[in-house]
Amino acid sequence: MPERNIASHMDRALQKYGLLIAFAVICLILSLLSPAFLTAQNGINVLRQISINAILAIGVTVVILTGGIDLSLGSVVAVTGVLAATLAHPGAYPLIVPIAAGILGGVLIGAVNGLVITRFRVAPFIVTLGMMTIARGGALILSKGRPVSNLSDAFNFIGNGSVWGVPVPVLILAGVFLVSHFVLRQTTFGRYVYAVGGNEEAARASGIGTHKIKIACYSICAGLAGLAGIVQASRITTGQPNAGISYELDAIAAVVIGGTSLSGGLGGVAGTILGALIIGTLNNGLDLLNVSSYYQQVIKGLIIIGAVILDRKKASQ
């Protein structure tokens, strides 16, 4: 029966490419409404604007895939930004030092998260909620409550420079995306991440060190948050202890819109990037159309809910 085949083909295509189609539709509508939208410069703007959030979102995707969550992202951005900034004064240390310190600082925080979650069996929500406050406190202590300024040109280049017309944060994002996509899809570690999220007991019975995997995931997530913290501090050329407030919510929103399931085992970073793009494009388009940012927030929330509903429908097939 040919009609049935066409309908089921369309259905399957929608399931696989639904997000891409939604993104294309949004771009189409915005380009019709605003002539400034579909330009190369604007495209680069959008990418630059979403870079930090997208890096955070990719990091937390890894954690969400194991069935966990990380609410401390924003605070990690702040504390690693401050840490990097204090080591980035002109002539103090070679550039590699603040960068390494920022990322490793994040990794350490993530490892602590992971250890407490696995050894003491405390819910990730609670542990990372606590860490959110602890890291924020750490940022304030390190910076003595004041922004850390006077940073080297090399450091400031990270957040503000461009290479061949492409902003450095976008290049960093591209690198993070390619590496994480490869690791999740093509390595045994990635397979184990999905297994732990899909059924932790079965993963354990398969000989997988589930504790080790989880700790690694939280370390990667916070490490990437550390990277984001460096980019952020560089962008505003200041280590700001109050940076990153509610960044974790935007990151998780991108993950959810991108189709990764909050219960673990399903999804990936490709969807997350699309999710971040959709949010970013909408923000950008609505700005160009002079829509108030208050309305933008409402729209964003509606899209998140809509995305989850669609996701539920997909899952129940």
Partner 1 sequence: MEPRDCILELREVSKDFPGVRALDQVNIQFERATVHAVVGENGAGKSTLMKILMGLYREYTGDVILCGRPLAHRGVRQALDAGISMIHQELMYVPHMSVAENLLLGQEPASRFLRRVDRRATHRQTKQLLQQVGMDLDPNRRMNNLSVAERQMVEIAKAVSYDARIIIMDEPTSALSQREVQRLLALIAELRSRGVTVIYISHKLEEVFEIADTITVLRDGRVIATHAKNEIDANRLIALMVGRELADVFPKRTYEPGADMLTVRNLTRQGVFRNVSFSVRQGEILGLAGLMGAGRTEVIRCLFGLDTYDEGQILVEGQEISIRSPAQALKLGLGLVSEDRQITGLVPCLSLGANITLSHMNRCSWGPVIARRKEQALVKRMAAALAIKSSSSAQRVGNLSGGNQQKVVLAKALLGEPEILILDEPTRGIDIGTKAEIYKLICRLADEGKAIIMVSSELPEILGLSDRVVVLSNGTVAGQLPREQASAEAIMHYAMARGTATD
- Which lies closer to partner 1 via its Cβ, residue 52 or residue 196? 196
Looking at the Cβ atoms of 67 and 114, the one nearer to partner 1 is: 67
What's the closest the beta carbon of residue 173 comes to partner 1, in angstroms? 23
Q: Are the C-beta atoms of residues 251 and 60 closer than 8 Å to each other?
A: yes
Token pair listed for 231: 């980019």
For residue 178, the minimal CB distance to partner 1 (Å) is 14
Considering beta carbons, is residue 13 or 163 the nearer one to partner 1? 13
Structure tokens belonging to residue 105:
């600082």
- State in angstroms the smallest separation of the CB of 219 from partner 1: 16
d(CA 39, CA 245): 31
Minimum separation from the CB atom of position 317 to partner 1 (A) = 7
Least gap, CB of 179 to partner 1 (angstroms)? 12
Half-sphere exposure (Cβ direction) of 267: Cα atoms closer than 13 Å: 34
Report the residue number, 213 or 276, with the smaller CB distance to partner 1.
213
Closest CA to 184 of 259, 274, 73, 265: 265
Vertex 128 angle, CA 314 and 184, to 5°: 45
- Residue 211 beta carbon to partner 1: minimum distance, rounded to whole angstroms: 10
Residue whose CB is less far from partner 1, 204 or 300: 204
Retrieve residue 227's tokens: 């990277």
**How many angstroms separate the Cα of 56 from the Cα of each of 169, 195, 224, 232?**
12, 23, 6, 11
Residue 226, SS3? helix
Nearer to partner 1, 146 or 312 (CB): 312
Phi-psi sector, 67: left (phi>0), alpha (psi -120 to 50), beta: left
CB nearer to partner 1: give 46 or 203: 203
Q: How far is CA 137 from CA 69, 113, 131, 230, in A?
A: 21, 16, 9, 18
Q: What's the rounded Cα separation, in Å, for the pair 199 and 169?
A: 36
Q: How far is the CB of 200 from partner 1 (least distance, A)?
A: 9
Q: Which residues of the shown chain bind partner 1 in the complex (CB under 8 A)?
A: 8, 12, 186-192, 194-195, 197-199, 201-209, 265-266, 317
**Least separation in angstroms between CB 267 and partner 1:** 10
Helix (H, G, I), strand (E, B) or coil at 167: strand
Which among 91, 99, 103 has a CA at the least distance from the CA of 152? 91
How big is the chain, counted in residues?
A: 317
Residue closer to partner 1, measured from CB, 89 or 204? 204
Q: Cα(first)–Cα(last) distance of the chain, in Å? A: 22
